[in-house]
């Protein structure tokens, strides 16, 4: 029986999502719990990987069990083992051709920036930025990044293809907090963090729009801007419909 789970986690307590030898990861924690329930080894397939320190309000994964367990009972059983830093918010049966990664239609990431007075309780959950952000200036930069581009200058690691489309970037200001919301089908490794770093570099006058356009439109031009901290990044939504 194949199941899909939606869950959140506090990334400050894990060495990223992906299973790693001798490291506490989200994937390994969930697989250990499911193996206890199934009484046989279970592997999960996530909708994507998050790096060390990155959080999730809506991550998804699928897995197969040898038994048919009611969704509500399975959700409760998993939560009883993986708490307090992972919480399953939904568990449902899906068809055997469903894949948590390859069936994704859209993802949403939120990057949280705190511009107020230093607060140690926010250290693991925001980029603590000691300057006032000009939201209108960030929106100008965002308008350049939206759309189909070659994002090789904003991705860590080597890929065969760096083409991708960002559907929307929304800047949300709420008091001393500024959230940058990214929506698109897929995002490559470190991509959101590199985009936020570039937006902040632009905000601080370290680069201009012409440089950003060249980084996006010239496949032969290699240039590196800042990479924002993992702590402010959240996987906020995974959509299949």
Q: Dump pLDDT digits (tens) for 226-236.
A: 999 999 999 99
- Enclosing domain of residue 80: 2-94
Catalytic-labelled residue, pool 10, 51, 64, 179: 51
Is residue 131 located within the same domain as residue 75? no
Q: Among 94, 129, 155, give the residue marking a domain's end.
A: 94
| Per-residue pLDDT, 160 | 86
- Give domain status of residue 99, yes or no: no
Instruction: Please state the domain count of the chain.
Output: 2
What whole-number distance in Å separates Cα of residue 57 and Cα of residue 86? 10
Q: Are strands 55-64 and 233-239 parallel, antiparallel or unpaired?
A: parallel
In DSSP notation, 163-225 reads EEEEEEEEEEEETTEEEEEEEES---TTHHHHHHHHHHHHHTTSS-HHHHHHHHH-TT-----
For 174-222, write each residue's pLDDT tens digit.
999 999 999 999 899 999 999 999 999 999 999 999 999 999 999 999 9
Is residue 154 located within the same domain as residue 117? yes
Confidence of residue 120 (pLDDT cuts 50, 70, 90): very high
**Burial class for 122, CB neighbours closer than 10 Å (0-12, 13-18, 19+):** middle
User: For all residues of the chain together, what is the average pLDDT?
Assistant: 96
Helix, coil or strand: residue 89: strand
Is residue 78 located within the same domain as residue 117? no
Is residue 113 located within the same domain as residue 208? yes
For 2-49, write each residue's pLDDT tens digit.
999 999 999 999 999 999 989 999 999 999 999 999 999 999 999 999
What whole-number distance in Å separates Cα of residue 213 and Cα of residue 145? 8
Query: pTM value?
Result: 0.95
Residues 6+ apart with CB under 8 A from 220: none
Q: Among 27, 62, 94, give the residue marking a domain's end.
A: 94
| Per-residue pLDDT, 130 | 86
Is residue 123 located within the same domain as residue 220? yes
CATH no. for residue 190? 3.30.70.660
Is 97 noted as a catalytic residue in this protein? no
Higher pLDDT, 215 or 157: 215
What whole-number distance in Å separates Cα of residue 163 and Cα of residue 161? 6
Is residue 116 located within the same domain as residue 89? no
Is residue 113 located within the same domain as residue 221? yes
Is residue 223 located within the same domain as residue 116? yes
| Per-residue pLDDT, 186 | 87
- Give domain status of residue 49, yes or no: yes
Q: Is 143 a residue whose pLDDT tops 90?
A: yes
What whole-number distance in Å separates Cα of residue 152 and Cα of residue 227? 14
């Amino acid at each position: 029986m194949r199941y899909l789970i939606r869950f959140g986690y506090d990334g400050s307590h894990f060495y990223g999502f992906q299973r790693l030898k001798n490291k506490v990861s989200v994937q390994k924690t969930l697989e250990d719990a499911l193996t206890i329930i199934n009484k046989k080894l279970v592997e999960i397939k996530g909708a994507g990987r998050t790096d060390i320190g990155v959080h999730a309000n809506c991550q998804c994964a699928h897995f197969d069990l040898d038994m048919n367990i009611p969704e509500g009972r399975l959700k409760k059983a998993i939560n009883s083992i993986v708490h307090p830093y992972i919480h399953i918010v939904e568990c449902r049966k899906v068809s055997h051709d469903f894949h948590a990664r390859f069936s994704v239609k859209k993802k949403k990431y939120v990057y949280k920036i705190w511009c107020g007075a230093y607060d140690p309780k926010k250290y693991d959950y925001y980029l603590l930025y000691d300057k006032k952000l000009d939201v209108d200036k960030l929106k100008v930069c965002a308008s350049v990044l939206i759309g189909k581009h070659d994002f090789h200058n904003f991705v860590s690691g080597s890929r065969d293809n760096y083409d991708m489309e960002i559907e929307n970037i929304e800047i949300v200001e709420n008091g001393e907090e500024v959230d940058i919301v990214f929506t698109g089908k897929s995002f490559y490794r470190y991509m959101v963090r590199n985009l936020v770093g570039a937006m902040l570099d632009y905000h601080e006058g370290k680069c201009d729009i012409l440089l950003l356009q060249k980084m996006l439109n010239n496949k032969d031009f290699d240039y590196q801007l800042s990479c924002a901290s993992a702590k402010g990044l959240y996987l906020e939504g995974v959509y299949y419909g």
